């Protein structure tokens, strides 16, 4: 059960990310990123993070990606054209990413024995557990993030405003 | 039962695809989306290690998930400001191609 869900949604994640990489039109990339983020929410749930799975769907695939889609439509972005710079990036980027994948996979799989085994339902972090830490021990950082959000909203309004 | 290492390998794959997309893509919005993809890959690592740490210590650990919570908050703020900057750049230059936006001055 766990293995099947992991393989299905892990494959969906990788397929969505590759589609983001190879699509030329930004709206197609944005929609495949929504697929990646929603599948990641299922993986969070498998690892016992129920609050973060909900927050992932609401904040990432909901709020942030809707903002991206709005901006793509607002700016009427078309398919990107190939330039000299993109050819150079293909030559450097694809082997670099392949080396990074190989290195990370080697490191994680060679230390496989020292990692725990995940089973569905074990060590489920409920919203209650999370909020007890967040609102008691980390109250000040939590309140400071609200100031950060406020500054970000003001900055976004100031930057995107039309100048006369 | 599946090993935590598999989740870490998956997040490594997602992160590397994000790096490749960041380098290859020429549209400024898609470059910004690949940054979000890398952030998501790191979040998966944090949650996988929270699970690992809970099992090693034998009782519930939530610090890693608190980290992910704060990453999400900062990512939301960053997306709002970043997209506003993209709109401002588009107004000034009338292009979204990163090759044509190579001066600090608008």
Asked if A123's CB is within 8 angstroms of B54's CB, the reply is yes
Give the residue-averaged pLDDT of B59-80: 92
Q: How confident is the model at residue A117 (pLDDT cuts 50, 70, 90)?
A: confident
pLDDT at residue A164 above 80? no
The lowest-confidence range among A15-19, A160-164, B54-58 is A160-164
Q: Are A156 and B87 in contact (CB under 8 A)?
A: no
Give the residue-averaged pLDDT of A125-149: 92
pLDDT in tens, A51-105: 999 999 999 999 999 999 999 999 887 777 776 767 777 888 889 899 999 999 9
pLDDT at residue A155 above 60? yes
DSSP assignment of chain A: -HHHHHHHHHHHHHHHHHHHHH-SSHHHHHHHHHHHHHHHHHHHHHTTBHHHHHHIIIIIIIIIHHHHHHHHHHHT--PPPP-HHHHHHHHHHHHHHHHHHHHHHHHHHHTGGGSPEE-TTTT-B-HHHHHHIIIIITHHHHHHHHHHHHHHHHHHHHHHSPP-
On whether any CB of chain B is under 8 Å from the CB of A120, the answer is: no
Asked if A44's CB is within 8 angstroms of B80's CB, the reply is no
pLDDT top residue among A10 and A112: A10
In this complex, how many residue pairs, one in chain A and one in chain B, have their CB atoms less than 8 Å apart? Answer: 257
Asked if A59's CB is within 8 angstroms of B72's CB, the reply is yes
As a whole number, the mean pLDDT across chain A is 89
Give the residue-averaged pLDDT of A10-34: 93
Which residue, among B9, B4, B38, has the nearest Cα to A105 in the 3D structure?
Answer: B9
Q: Which residues of B touch A26 (CB under 8 A)?
A: 27, 29-30, 33
Give the residue-averaged pLDDT of A127-145: 92
On whether any CB of chain A is under 8 Å from the CB of B80, the answer is: yes
Asked if A90's CB is within 8 angstroms of B17's CB, the reply is no
On whether any CB of chain A is under 8 Å from the CB of B44, the answer is: yes
Q: Are A33 and B37 in contact (CB under 8 A)?
A: yes
Question: What is the pLDDT at residue B106?
Answer: 56
From chain A residues 48-87, the ones with a CB under 8 A of any chain B CB are 48-49, 51-52, 55-56, 59-60, 63-64, 67-68, 71-72, 74-75, 77, 80-86
Question: What is the pLDDT at residue B105?
Answer: 62
- State ipTM: 0.90
Give the residue-averaged pLDDT of B56-81: 91
On whether any CB of chain A is under 8 Å from the CB of B36, the answer is: yes
pLDDT top residue among A160 and B13: B13
pLDDT in tens, B7-54: 999 999 999 999 999 998 888 999 999 999 999 999 999 999 999 998
Chain A nearest CA to B78, separation (Å): 7
Question: What is the pLDDT at residue A154?
Answer: 94
pLDDT in tens, B85-98: 999 889 888 888 88
On whether any CB of chain A is under 8 Å from the CB of B100, the answer is: no
Question: What is the pLDDT at residue B93?
Answer: 83
Q: Which residues of B touch A157 (CB under 8 A)?
A: 84
């Amino acid at each position: 059960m766990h293995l099947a869900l992991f393989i299905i949604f892990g494959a969906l994640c990788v397929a969505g990310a590759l589609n983001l990489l190879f699509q030329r039109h930004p709206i197609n990339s944005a929609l495949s990123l929504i697929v990646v983020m929603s599948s990641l929410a299922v993986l969070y749930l498998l690892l016992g993070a129920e609050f973060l799975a909900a927050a992932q769907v609401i904040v990432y695939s909901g709020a942030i990606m809707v903002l991206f889609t709005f901006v793509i439509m607002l700016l009427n972005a078309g398919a990107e054209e190939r330039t000299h710079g993109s050819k150079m990036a293909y030559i450097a980027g694809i082997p670099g990413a392949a080396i990074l994948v190989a290195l990370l996979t080697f490191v994680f799989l060679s230390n496989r024995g020292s990692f725990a085994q995940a089973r569905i339902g074990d060590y489920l972090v409920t919203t209650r557990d999370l909020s007890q830490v967040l609102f008691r021990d980390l109250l000040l950082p939590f309140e400071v993030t609200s100031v950060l959000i406020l500054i970000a909203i003001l900055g976004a309004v100031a930057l995107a405003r039309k100048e006369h | 039962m599946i090993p935590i290492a598999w989740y870490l390998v998956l997040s490594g794959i997602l992160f590397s695809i994000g790096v490749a997309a960041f380098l290859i893509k020429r549209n400024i919005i898609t470059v910004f989306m690949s940054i979000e993809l890398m952030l998501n890959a790191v979040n998966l690592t944090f949650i996988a290690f929270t699970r690992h740490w809970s099992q090693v210590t034998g009782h519930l650990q939530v610090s890693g998930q608190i980290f992910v919570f704060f990453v999400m908050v900062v990512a939301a703020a960053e997306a709002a400001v970043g997209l506003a900057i993209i709109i401002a750049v588009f107004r000034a230059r009338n292009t979204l191609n990163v090759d044509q936006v190579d001066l600090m001055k608008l």
